[in-house]
Structure 1
Amino acid sequence: MKKIVLHGRKIVGGCAEGEALVTHDSISGWGGVNPMTGKIVEVRHELSGQSFADKVLVFPGAKGSSGWSGIFHSTRLVGTAPKAMLFNTMTTKVALGAVVTHAPAMTDLDEDPLKIIETGDWVKVDADNGIVEITKKS
């Protein structure tokens, strides 16, 4: 199995690992996610109908209103939050969403995670040490 290591900046500390769920579409909190299931409900979204619960969510960043913090806080409370988050574009929406989710979160990786990680890859996020280990699925 091929293993790739990336380095980046911690947003929320901790360590978690799991199967990656990758999207090239930004995610809207308010109206884009069902917090009870962790499913993307935005109709035209690449992941529409798929749940990020217990996955390592890899995405470009947040879009929309300030609903991110409330929706992602709810996912943590009901147990549908991602295990970890990796994203490219830092905004106050995504930062606050990551903080209230309590999932390890990183950005500013030395390579674009959207070009390296594919859905189904196994990803370990060690945000405390700024390390992401990717084990390719194939």
Structure 2
Amino acid sequence: MIKMRLNCRVINKGNVEGEALITKEPISFLGGVNPETGVIVERGHEIEGECIKDKILIFPCGKGSTVGSYVVYAAKKNGVGPKAIINSESEPIVVVGAIISDIPIVEVDLTDLNVKTGDKVIIDAENGVVIF
């Protein structure tokens, strides 16, 4: 059953559906995500210990080093990257990582996104819609 549709700003196109993994904290891919396992390893992070593999990864924005783009790519290449990314503000580190990894990425106002971890989310980044 579709609960809600939101228009989104498409950064990198693609259509996917999957399980949401949500944090209200920015993510640093360099040092914060293990590219071999996909596990969030940043100490004290809200989702420390969670795996991003095949998730719709929802977080406000990225933070940290530009090498984070390569970590996104390495995670995808190792088969442990997210299916898609939803940000409220996509910054260059995450955007470049998503583009070179062919991961759909969109922007929405996260206050409008009534989703919790484990919920099914559909991203139609061809038409600019998030369904949850």
TM-score band, normalised by the shorter chain?
over 0.9
Q: Is the 8 A contact 2:38 2:75 kept in 1?
A: yes
Structure 2: how far apart are the matches of 1:85 and 1:101? 12
Once residues 97 and 113 of structure 1 are traced to their aligned partners in structure 2, the CA distance between those partners, rounded to angstroms, is 25
Distance 2:99 2:40 in 1: 20
Q: Which residue of 2 aligns with 1:131?
A: 129
RMSD of aligned residue pairs (Cα, Å): 1.4
Identity rate, percent: 40
Structure 2 gaps of 5+ residues are none
Would you say 1:29 and 2:32 are equivalent positions? no
Indicate how the Cα distance of structure 1 residues 43 and 93 shifts in structure 2: closer, same or farther if over 3 A, else same. same
Matched length: 132
Equivalences for residues 47-126 of structure 1 within 5 A? 47-107=47-107, 109=108, 111-112=109-110, 115-126=113-124
Normalised to the residue count of structure 1, the TM-score between the two structures is 0.90
Tell me the amino acid that sits aligned with residue 76 of structure 1: K
Q: Which amino acid aligns with 1:133?
A: I
Structure 1: distance between partners of 2:51 and 2:110: 23
Q: Which amino acid aligns with 2:116?
A: E
Cα offsets for 1:33-90 (capped at 9, x unmatched):
0011111000110010110100100001100111211100101111111011100112
Higher strand residue share: 1
TM (normalized to structure 2)?
Answer: 0.94
* Amino acid in structure 2 at the alignment position of 1:5: R
Looking at structure 2, the residues matched to 114 and 51 of structure 1 have their Cα atoms a distance apart, in angstroms, of 25
State the distance in 2 between where 1:133 and 1:31 align.
31
**Contact 1:52–1:80 (CA<8 Å) still a contact in 2?**
yes
Matching residue of 1:15: 15
For 1:57 and 1:114, the matched residues in 2 are separated by 16
Q: Secondary structure at the residue paired with 2:106?
A: strand
* Equivalent residue letter for 1:13: K
